[in-house]
Structure 1
Amino acid sequence: MISPVAELRRFVHAALVEPVPRDHLESDAAFRRRRVVALATLLLGAGVLAWALRIEPGDPLFYVATLLLAGVWAAGAFASGRLHLGRAHTRAGSEPSRAVVQSLALGTLLLLLFLAGALVVARIPALREPVDGLLAHAAVGSLPIVAAITAVNGIAEELYFRGALYAGIGRRHAVLLTTLVYAAVTAAAGVPLLILAALLLGLITGLQRRVTGGVLGPIITHLTWSLGMLFLLPQALEIAR
């Protein structure tokens, strides 16, 4: 019988360490084009994000701005070149399959980690106040609409950061650089804990991208975490108040 620790070690190795064999090579011209498009998209997206985060809670313009941001990330990702869904290792060791179950597990573990951290954040006003300000968009506006926009933006972010940008950087240091760029863009929100979240989420999804060779795993992990935080974080903060 395999111990829980050994099982967890095997899961982490399969999900975040050992790459699945594949051949995603592209020409030098395609690689250079991908880099140019990725850089232009990054500059435009950072500007739109900075604008969106400065819109007052309850203003319908916030919805327009965040959907526009998703459009920038997604359009830039698809314009940069071919994107792959990727494949993950299976528990049975057979042919690799789509990274669905692994990603749901990773997203859930990340969500539980942040909800536990919320119990500490709730007791520190300097950390809680910026988070409350960010959550005000969901509290004042329509929660179903905010959830839909959160999902759309999560998908678009992964298409760009773990799709176009990751491929544009190349094999060396792609996980590190995409994580740092993602955190730097997120810093526009002015919420320290959101930057920490971007670093952790960016690292996990970056490692997934390295292992699976595609964006499906990162998208599922991102959505599991972000939608879970949207619905559960306010309650966790209230309980710990």
Structure 2
Amino acid sequence: MRALVARLRGRLPKPITHVAPVVHDEAAAIVRRRRRIVAGVSVVGASLLGAGLSTKPGSREFYGTTLTVAGVWTVGGLVSGPLHLGWIEGQDDRLRRPVVTPVATGVAAFGFFYGCALVAQKIPLLDRAISRVLVFAEEGDEPLVLLTTLANGLGEEVFFRGALYAALGDDHPVVKSTAVYALATSTTRNPALVLAAGVMGSLFGLQRRASQGLQAPVLTHLTWSALMVRYLPPLFRRAHDEEPR
């Protein structure tokens, strides 16, 4: 039993502030090419992101635009240069691919946001902002909504924590990639989405720095997004149904 406990304890990850001892060197030509692609894709993707939430919920225009945004982020990130899955270092100093920890982090992040949503319902500005986003899930086809949500979550990580993060080099990439992420989200003109981008972008950036790759932030983002799109709409629908007429 002691041996099993020691083995499990050894598999526990080191703190998120600990950076896995993995180095990815890139030639100067790759860095220059990546930065040019990142600059162009940032403008195109942000513009389409804003346009997507200006369409009618559940419409073909909505699904077409949001899937196009996901494609722009994903393709832009992949063609910018080599990307890496990353590693997580355990207490036993062994490197492993991050799976359980990022999924658990996504669940914990959802729990945090669910609690925040209970508070946001009492703040008119945030209540209206969140409701404007959730209407796309409420009035849309559930499988398509989940597909677009997960596709965009994957695309955002490939681009923002993949290509953009790598293009920034060692000059405060977590802060700068999060700032660009929030700025791109501001095209939606929705304060709740911008706030979420700032909070979750910081978490994803820290995961990217710690693991030196994409797998951890991707799994956390997908887990968090799937839970948010599944459980937040009913929460706000019940709250609004209970309001006095």
Normalising by structure 1, report the TM-score: 0.91
Q: Give distance in 1, aligned partners of 2:45 and 2:131.
A: 24
Distance 1:124 1:73 in 2: 33
Residue 121 of structure 2 aligns with an amino acid whose one-letter code is: A
8 Å CA contact retained: 2:12, 2:90? no
Q: Give the root-mean-square deviation of aligned CA atoms.
A: 1.8
Cα displacement (A) at 1:130: 1.8
SS at structure 1 position matched to 2:130 = helix
Quote the residue 1:224 is aligned against: 223
Q: AA paired with 1:52?
A: G
The answer to whether the Cα contact below 8 Å between 2:13 and 2:90 also exists between their aligned partners in 1 is no
Contact conserved, 1:38 with 1:80, CA < 8 A, in 2? yes
Aligned residue number for residue 129 of structure 1: 128
Moved more, 157-166 or 114-123: 114-123
| Counterparts of residues 139-218 of structure 1 (less than 5 Å) | 139-218=138-217
Unaligned runs of 5+ in 1: 1-9
**1:14–1:109: structure 2 CA closer, same or farther, 3 Å change rule?**
same
2:18 aligns to what? 18
TM-fit CA distance, 1:23: 2.0
1:187 aligned partner, one-letter code = S
How far apart are 1:95 and its partner, in Å?
2.0
- Give 1:48 shift: 1.1
Q: Distance in 2 between matches of 1:158 and 1:118?
A: 24
Asked if residue 83 in structure 1 is aligned to residue 61 in structure 2, the reply is no
Conserved 8 A contact 2:77-2:158? yes
Question: Contact 2:13–2:101 at 8 Å: present in 1 too?
Answer: no
C-alpha contact (below 8 Å) 1:48/1:69 kept by paired residues: yes
Cα pair 1:80 1:164 within 8 Å, conserved: yes
Matched-pair contact (CA < 8 Å) for 2:138–2:233:
no
The number of residues matched between the two structures is 231
Deviation at 1:13, TM superposition (A): 7.9
- The CA distance in 2 between the partners of 1:114 and 1:11, in whole Å, is 28
Larger radius of gyration: 2
1:211: Cα distance to partner? Answer: 0.7
Shift of 1:12: 10
What does the per-residue CA deviation read over 1:118-165, in whole Å, with 9 as the maximum and x for residues that have no partner?
Answer: 111112222111211111111111011100111111001000000000
Instruction: Report the secondary structure of 2:95's partner residue.
Output: coil
Offset of 1:11 from its aligned partner?
11
Aligned twin of 1:35:
35
Farther-moved stretch of structure 1 (128-137 vs 171-180): 128-137
What is the rounded CA distance, in whole Å, between the counterparts of 2:107 and 2:11 in structure 1?
14
* Whole-angstrom distance in 1 between the partners of 2:56 and 2:237: 23
Is the CA contact 2:137–2:233 (under 8 Å) kept in the aligned structure 1? no
- Identify the residue that residue 48 of structure 2 maps to in structure 1: 48
Structure 1: which 4+ aligned runs deviate by more than 6 Å?
10-13
Normalization by structure 2: what TM-score? 0.89
Cα deviation code 1:188-236 (max 9, x no counterpart): 2222121111011100110110011111100001011111110111233
Contact 1:15–1:102 (Cα < 8 Å) also in 2: no
Question: What amino acid is aligned across from residue 219 of structure 1 in structure 2?
Answer: V
Deviates more, 1:204-213 or 1:183-192: 183-192
